[in-house]
Amino acid sequence: MDKLEFKNIRCFEKGTIYNILKEAYSFDEKYYLADGETKWKHEADAFFFDNLHIADTCVFITTLNNEPIGVVMWDPRDLPEFATIGHNGIVPKYKGKSFGKIQMKEAIKRIKDAGAQKILVSTNADLMPAMKNYESVGFKEVACKPSEYKNFADDVYYELSR
């Protein structure tokens, strides 16, 4: 029987978040070129592994039989009004098997347990699986704006209220 768990990043080595995100977005290098080194490696992975007291409250790694298969993180600074989900990804080998939906449901539960009245998330309009995943767990589209990145589709913004 497969064992799916949501683990604290303390259980992993520095670089795990970066590696999951790099693999999760490996289908199109433009995502890595736009965000990889700066946002994934330095702003996400390095920041959280250097600040475990913060990571304990707003990041988890999804594992299947102890293998890291996904990660999700959120910004809790605007609680209790809202929290914003940042990076969220599942490695390709496990995409299309409901793990992204299960991971998102766990993140929503944790964010609501922290008192959030609303949860915000955004994605690129090219990422249809991500859009469908957010909608499948109750998020509603609230805006669509041009991306800050050249040659990217628009960014789609979602909200989930209590």
Q: What is the pLDDT of residues 75-111, one digit of tens each?
A: 999 999 999 999 999 999 999 999 999 999 999 999 9
The residue type at 113: D
Residue 133: per-residue pLDDT = 96
Residue in 24, 114, 17 with CA at minimum distance from that of residue 61:
17
| Phi/psi of residue 123, nearest 5 degrees | -150, 170
Residue 35: per-residue pLDDT = 76
Domain ranges in the chain are 4-161
The residue type at 134: Y
Query: CB 127: neighbour CB atoms within 10 A?
Result: 18
> What tokens appear for 59 in the block?
């990041």
pLDDT tens-digit map of 55-74: 999 999 999 999 999 999 99
> What tokens appear for 57 in the block?
């409250």
Sign of CA dihedral 88, 61, 16, 20: negative
Q: Cα dist. 106→110, 111, 130 in Å?
A: 6, 9, 16
**pLDDT bracket for residue 49 (50, 70, 90):** very high
Q: What is the pTM of this model?
A: 0.94
**29 pLDDT exceeds 90?**
no
Residue 132 and residue 125 in contact, taking contact as beta carbons nearer than 8 Å = no
CATH of 4-161, one of 3.50.50.60, 3.40.630.30, 2.40.50.140, 3.40.50.12280: 3.40.630.30
- In total, the chain counts a number of residues equal to 162
Note if the bond before 68 is cis, omega within 30 degrees: no
